[in-house]
């Protein structure tokens, strides 16, 4: 009797591993670009190697100071941001940020590439892929969806043909898995995802923030200096879930699902909709330990729903149609 009880008690722990474009992650939790810096700030709080990976701050060819302030506005169940791709530029990322990151993170990282032209996307992708720090980079995440920069990435992400052009051009200069970050501010996100797949993308990530604004009722002026910004946080989760579900039906490449993820329960739901991995964004800004807590919660939530292997639930909601 004692032996059989021991067998029951020592059941195999739930398997949280997933495969993202040929790279195995210990778990699917990936802090999203722009919400985790270059990692080392969070490494002062906890060992960030508990994460599956993370996507570092959006990188452009030249340094960018970003938009004028105010850049942040609160919203019900979320936050609006109009930071404007503030970053030190690709050369400084390679020479300064990645060496510092290597001191605290020993897993492949996702490099987020932003641009204002196809040529800029190509050059930043090429430099990161060919740099002396290229071994640190597991995936190139090409952001064609930034809604908070005038004339920036979102114009590429709202048109299937233009999205395909970016994919085709960047595909030529990197052998890294190419993940395209899509805009939700479109009428047919599944069609754009399919165009990216056909053009050579290895994966897609979605959703980026939704366009929104707030008005100061005392001045009758927009709160954000840029007038509009990107809405993130729990308010966008149902929209993100719906879009991941639709894209999963349209493509065969993996999806990094994001938008309002705050708990391990959200991770399970997003993966059932079709995500292979899950990005955690605004939650990190509200609670610096959010991603760590989600990772720690995953095994018990998996047990709650009888899930032994997390990879088995990817797209599970589609099998019941």
Distances in whole angstroms, Cα of residue 141 to Cα of each of 112, 132, 216, 220, 292: 5, 19, 35, 38, 22
pLDDT score recorded for residue 320: 67
Distances in whole angstroms, Cα of residue 314 to Cα of each of 17, 45, 275, 311: 12, 31, 6, 6
Q: 78, 234 in Cβ contact below 8 A?
A: yes
What's the CA gap between 252 and 202, in Å, rounded?
9
pLDDT per position as a tens digit, 12-49: 789 999 999 999 999 999 999 999 999 999 999 999 99
List, in order of start, the domains of the chain with CATH numbers: 2-315 (3.20.20.70)
Nearest to 255 by CA among 297, 196, 185, 170: 196
Match 């670009």 to its residue by tokens. 33
Give the residue ranges of the chain where pLDDT is below 50. Answer: 1-9, 148, 152
What's the CA gap between 86 and 67, in Å, rounded?
8
pLDDT per position as a tens digit, 215-254: 999 999 999 999 999 999 999 999 999 999 999 999 999 9
Active-site residue numbers? 146
Cis previous bond, 70, omega within 30: yes
pLDDT score recorded for residue 321: 61
pTM for the structure as a whole: 0.93
Burial per residue of 226-254, b for 16 or more beta-carbon CB atoms within 10 angstroms, e otherwise: bebbbbbbbbbbeebbebbbbbbebbebb
Rounded mean pLDDT of the chain? Answer: 93
> Cβ–Cβ contacts within 10 Å for residue 161, how many?
10
What's the CA gap between 67 and 47, in Å, rounded?
32
Distances in whole angstroms, Cα of residue 73 to Cα of each of 70, 76, 188, 213, 233: 8, 10, 28, 8, 12
pLDDT score recorded for residue 13: 81
Contacts for 10 with CB less than 8 Å, ≥ 6 apart: none
């Amino acid at each position: 009797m004692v032996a059989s009880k021991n067998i029951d008690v020592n059941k195999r722990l739930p398997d949280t591993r997933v495969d993202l474009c040929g790279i195995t992650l210990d778990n699917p939790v990936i802090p999203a670009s722009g919400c985790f810096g270059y990692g080392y700030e969070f490494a002062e709080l906890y060992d960030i190697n508990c994460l599956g990976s993370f996507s570092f701050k959006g990188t452009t060819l030249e340094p960018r100071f970003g938009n004028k302030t105010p850049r942040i506005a609160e919203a019900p169940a979320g936050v609006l941001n109009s930071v404007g791709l503030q970053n030190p530029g690709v050369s400084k990322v390679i020479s300064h940020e990645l060496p510092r990151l290597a001191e605290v993170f020993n897993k492949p990282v996702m490099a987020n590439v932003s641009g204002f032209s196809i040529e800029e996307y190509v050059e930043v992708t090429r430099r990161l892929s060919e740099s002396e720090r290229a071994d640190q980079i597991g995936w190139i995440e090409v952001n064609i969806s930034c809604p908070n920069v005038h004339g920036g990435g979102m114009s590429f992400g709202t048109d299937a043909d233009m999205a395909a052009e970016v994919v085709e051009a960047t595909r030529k200069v990197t052998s890294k898995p190419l993940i395209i970050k899509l805009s939700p501010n479109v009428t047919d996100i599944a069609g754009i995802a399919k165009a990216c797949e056909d053009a050579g993308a290895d994966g897609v990530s979605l959703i980026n923030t939704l366009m929104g604004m707030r008005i100061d009722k005392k001045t009758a002026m927009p709160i954000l200096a840029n007038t509009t910004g990107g809405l993130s946080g729990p308010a966008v989760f149902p929209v993100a879930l719906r879009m991941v579900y639709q894209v999963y039906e349209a493509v065969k490449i993996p999806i990094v699902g994001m938008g309002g993820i705050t708990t391990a329960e959200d991770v399970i739901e997003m993966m059932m909709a079709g995500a292979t991995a899950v990005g955690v964004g605004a939650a990190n800004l509200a609670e610096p330990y959010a991603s760590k807590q989600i990772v720690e919660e995953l095994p018990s939530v998996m047990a709650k729903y009888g899930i032994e292997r997390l990879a088995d639930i990817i797209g599970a909601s589609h099998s019941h149609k």
